[in-house]
Amino acid sequence: MDTPRELEWYLRDHLFRQAGKGRTRIARAEIAGEMISLYLRYRNYDPGQLAGLMTPVIDDLVSMRVLSQLEGGLLEAAPMTRMQCAKCFYVSYLAEAEPRVCQRCSGTELGEFPKRK
């Protein structure tokens, strides 16, 4: 079972990828199903169980102003940037308002994650 921190990383990854496709508004009820279908890690989860695990993670992202809560859905409060730590190489997805620190080691030497060629 994932920790809330791991689940948050996958949720941020999902939101970042959806925003890259032009989708910045997501129905809260659909997120668990989408993650089950897109991430191998969650394939064996029950959608209701995953939705229950995600509720506090989503609430935290709303309180940190990474997401805005709309009627029945969620909206990115600000565009996210994918950054990679020079110290531990962890990939962090950070909103504009968040401090530029690694979400794993708290390092401050973050560079933009290389784009695919």
Sign of the four-CA dihedral 26, 20, 99, 83: positive
Where does the pLDDT of residue 7 fall: very low under 50, low under 70, confident under 90, or very high at 90 and above?
very high
H helix intervals, the chain: 4-20, 28-38, 47-63
CA distance 117 to 114: 9
Residue intervals in the chain for CATH 1.10.10.10: 4-76
Where does the pLDDT of residue 53 fall: very low under 50, low under 70, confident under 90, or very high at 90 and above?
very high
Domain 4-76 fold: Arc Repressor Mutant, subunit A (1.10.10)
pLDDT in tens, 65-106: 999 998 878 999 889 999 999 999 999 999 988 999 999 999
pLDDT in tens, 24-37: 899 999 999 999 99
pTM of the complete model:
0.90
Q: Residue 109 corresponds to which amino acid?
A: E
So what's the pLDDT on residue 45?
A: 95
So what's the pLDDT on residue 113?
A: 83
Residue pair 88/104 in contact (Cβ under 8 Å)? The answer is yes
Q: What is the mean pLDDT of the chain?
A: 92
Those residues with Cβ within 8 angstroms of residue 28's Cβ, 6 or more apart along the chain or in another chain: 58, 69, 72, 73, 74
SS (H, E, C) 38-71: HCHHHCCCCHHHHHHHHHHHHHHHHHCCCEEEEC
Where does the pLDDT of residue 114 fall: very low under 50, low under 70, confident under 90, or very high at 90 and above?
confident
CA distance 95 to 79: 6
So what's the pLDDT on residue 78?
A: 87
